[in-house]
A and B are shown apart, each in its own frame.
Chain A
Amino acid sequence: MNQDEKLSIIKDILLTDEREFTSSIEKKIKSLEKTINEKEKLSNKVDPIIDDKLNNFIKEIPKTLGPTITKTLKEEIKNSQDAVVEALFPIIGKMIKRYIQHEMKLLSDKINTQVNNTFSFKGIFRKAKSKASGVNESDLILQELSNTKIEQVIIIEKGSGIVLAEFSKNKTTDEDMVAGMLTAIKSFVEDAFKKESQNLQHIDYDLYHIHLQNFSSFYIAVVISGAYNIIYQDKLEDKILDFTSKQKVSDILNNKELITQKLEDFFNNDNI
């Protein structure tokens, strides 16, 4: 064996691993080239990552961009109020107009029906009632249509706001919380105006009216839905006075069960 042959054998021994490694890298590069150059293959690899990023971005929009968008919108609206009004007026104006037209039509239909029944027993009774009470017949018709309902009656201790008795047809509120808040509001308003002889008499809340009537150690809150006009208010005041005097409420304030029973008997129907 000459020198060259020996050198070749040594080269073979030393470089075999390197060649295998080079060949495997070559294969990988070719596979990568294929993936990158072929659109479908590249898309299979990249699409899930992009989708994931996009989904995260969409999820994060309210957190990241929300405050900026809200702030910008608020500023824009504040700075160009006239433009906003001009833009919204035709839309909102039309909506309100349509709503009022619809409600007026319903009211007009109802009044027509009531007037057409002039010679019914109810109509004759209304006419007589109108003459006797001095209240205009049309006011009586409107009152009949208003469908006023007593939703809840609460007798509340003055000062503490503790509920002494309660009656409601559909229990939707926590009377203790309502009584507490009403007492706090009453205290605040009456304190603020600093006139001892004056009392808060009613509070309007969305579709409800809360009629408040004061007595020496307690007050009565009546939650009403529907129209609450002077005629109704006057009648309700009389009814509450009638209740407190006939049932001697002041004498039985410590008997929650008894007052509750009396409340239920007295206010169970909507007629006042």
Chain B
Amino acid sequence: MITSKKIVLIGHFGVGKTSLIRRFVENTFSEDYKVTIGVHISKKTIEIAEDESVSFIIWDLEGQDDIKKTRVSYLLGTHAFIYVFDLSRPSTFENLKNEVNYLHENYSKTPLKVVGNKVDLVNKEYLAQYNDKFDDLVDLFVSAKNGSRVESLFSKLAKELI
């Protein structure tokens, strides 16, 4: 049986939302940065058990410096959110707590994964500096560039959604 689920990726400009999707859907990565305008939709089906698959319909929304500016109609009927920030750019996570709270308050029933991308660009000492900020909020550190933990992010989500 295949179940379709709408997944929405949100976050600031240039944090790597599109790259994360490309890594997951096509297993590719490009250094060229092309800004997403409006929304881009992709699809990938993954098997989570015998005779049980989840078809992810992934909505890649254009980056917003303030999550409240995201077009609300794009978020309707979302089965899970992935909030992406760039570990190498503190400006993309300095307001992380408020952004996550906003999602919890407005979409309390929708699962949310908070993901720090570009982990390949930072080291342990750097991450340790922000321990307090990330501790309770961040689910995973991933890298769209080398694929680290991207697959695991989506398979965890699939299992949670079924």
Contact = CB atoms under 8 A, between A and B. Distances in A.
Given A176-B4, A176-B43, A180-B57, A159 B76 contact: yes
A181 B79 CA distance: 17
Interface in A170-218: 174, 176-177, 180-181, 184, 187-188, 190-191
Contacts of B4: 162-163, 176
Nearest to A187: B73
Interface size class of B (residues with CB under 8 A): 10 to 19
Given A181-B41, A184-B38, A184-B59, A190 B6 contact: no
Contacts of B76: 158-160, 187
B104 interface: no
A180 B39 CA distance: 10
Interface size class of A (residues with CB under 8 A): 10 to 19
B38 A188 contact: yes
A177 B77 contact: no
Contacts of B79: 160
B78 interface: yes
A160 B41 contact: no
Interface in B29-82: 38-39, 41-43, 55, 57, 59, 71-74, 76-79
A160 B38 contact: no
Contacts of A190: 73
B77 A187 contact: no
Given A174-B43, A176-B4, A191 B77 contact: no
A151 interface: no
A163 B2 CA distance: 12
B59 A191 contact: no
Contact of B57 (A159, A176, A187, A188): A176
Contacts of B39: 184, 188
Contacts of B55: 176
Given A176-B43, A184-B39, A161 B73 contact: no
B41 A184 contact: yes
Nearest to A191: B73
A213 to B, nearest CB: 19
B43 A177 contact: yes
Contacts of A160: 6, 76-79
26 contacts: A158-B77, A159-B73, A159-B76, A160-B6, A160-B76, A160-B77, A160-B78, A160-B79, A161-B6, A161-B57, A161-B77, A162-B4, A162-B6, A174-B43, A176-B43, A176-B57, A177-B43, A180-B6, A180-B57, A180-B59, A181-B41, A184-B38, A184-B41, A184-B59, A187-B74, A191-B73
Given A176-B55, A187-B76, 19 more contacts: A157-B77, A158-B76, A159-B76, A160-B6, A160-B76, A160-B77, A161-B77, A162-B6, A176-B4, A177-B43, A180-B59, A184-B38, A184-B39, A187-B74, A188-B39, A188-B71, A188-B73, A191-B71, A191-B73
Interface of A: 157-163, 174, 176-177, 180-181, 184, 187-188, 190-191
Closest 4 CB pairs of A and B: A160-B77, A159-B76, A159-B77, A187-B73
